[in-house]
Structure 1
Amino acid sequence: MLRALYDWTLRWSASRHAGTALGVVSFTESSVFPVPADVLFLPMCLARPERAMRYAAIATVASVLGGVFGWAIGVWAFDALARPLLELYGKTAAFDALKGQTGTWTILAMLVTSGLSHIPPMKVVTILSGVVAFDLKLFILSAIVARGGRFFLLAVLLRRHGLRITAFLEAQMNRIALGLAGAALLAFILFEVLR
């Protein structure tokens, strides 16, 4: 099933409706869809580097809106919508484990790492944020920073370095994301201590 979704998503990257498809996949990835928007975003930026920043904007806005939708599912429709989806994707145990570790700092760190590297999956974190009633304004701000940072950084690198950078990014994205999340967390802690 995942391979069919992956192939379907990849076909959209070559379509004249690629921007719309990117928006739809970015929105749904943040709440229900198992295939990351990168499957469309990367080939689109490589094929049309002059549109990379436009694609980054589409992906960021749609992803943040999809995250808000996931948050709303967590607040108002967890048992009706989210639990069956988590069971379908085999993520119920991961979700329950994350729920047991919640707190403002934990959710914020998960939003940043998820937004940058998909660890843990974005849809799990957005729904969890709603379940624990994480502050919506802070949720939106962290989603903009993490998702926007990811898409715009990728857009700049792909415009400048093209195919040469993709192998490096695929191999090192998790380390880069964890490093950025650690730096952001350290900056926030320093800000709180010095305040």
Structure 2
Amino acid sequence: MARLFTLLYDKTMGWSRHRHATRWLVLVSFTESSFFVVPPDVMLAPMALASPNRAWYYAMLTTVASVFGGLLGYGIGALAFSLIEPLLQQWDYWDSYLKARLWFEEWGGWAVLLAGFSPIPYKVFTIAAGVAAMPLALFIMASLAGRGARFFLVAALMRWGGARMEAGLRKYVDLMGWIAVLVAFAGYLLLSR
């Protein structure tokens, strides 16, 4: 049990070198922008770390697939919002959706750019952009800039770290993992009072 995070780390790095990893990266990047909950960073980072010479390629694929997925989210918002509105409420995305609408009213296209780069659920903004009938060209440009900035930053950090970072992470991954579990547990205890 003490080496749990090392085992997970080794498995993740193995998957990142799999011959179909690129296809999965594209699929996750596309679906996360409109309905899937796993961010593509969890695949992009280990893939770029495992193959630093392909980091820019992976970042470009992730960005393009994410923007195409964002167009699906935009279409959902523009054409089928009444169908997914109950899901947004059921899955606790409703407050994020309302915040996205306010951001659109206040900042317009900048809201999509910021959402594309930030950890705020991008899918909520893609759907809200469709509901708000944001100009499509502006939506695409803001999405490319925001998502591209985020994914190329992740790729740059992994490329910069390369094999040295991979070995260092593996050496300390169990310590970092158990510290994260303890911090999460302590946070839970503090917030549940």
Q: TM-score, normalised by structure 1?
A: 0.71
Which of 89, 92, 106 matches 1:90? 92
- The C-alpha deviation readout for 1:49-81, integer Å capped at 9, x for no partner, is 11111101110110010011100100001112x
Give 3-state SS (helix, strand or coil) of 2:70's partner.
Answer: helix
- Give the 5 Å matches for 1:128-139: 128-139=128-139
Q: Distance in 2 between matches of 1:30 and 1:53?
A: 20
**Structure 1 unaligned blocks of 5 or more:** 1-6, 167-195
Q: CA deviation at 1:108?
A: 2.0
Report how many residues are paired: 155
Q: Distance in 2 between matches of 1:100 and 1:153?
A: 28
Q: Distance in 2 between matches of 1:32 and 1:12?
A: 23
- Deviating 4+ runs (over 4 angstroms): none
- The C-alpha deviation readout for 1:139-158, integer Å capped at 9, x for no partner, is 00011111112212222232
Q: CA deviation at 1:101?
A: 4.8
Q: Percent of pairs identical after alignment?
A: 44
Query: Which position in structure 1 is the counterpart of 2:28?
Result: 25
- Give the 5 Å matches for 1:24-173: 24-80=27-83, 82-103=84-105, 105-119=106-120, 121-162=121-162, 163=165
**Structure 2 unaligned blocks of 5 or more:** 1-7, 170-193
Q: CA deviation at 1:14?
A: 4.5
Question: Residues 18, 144 of structure 1: CA spacing in aligned structure 2 closer, same or farther, 3 A cutoff?
Answer: same
Q: Distance in 2 between matches of 1:106 and 1:158?
A: 32
For the pair shown, the structure with the greater C-alpha radius of gyration is 2
- The C-alpha deviation readout for 1:86-125, integer Å capped at 9, x for no partner, is 134211133134324532x524232122111222x10000
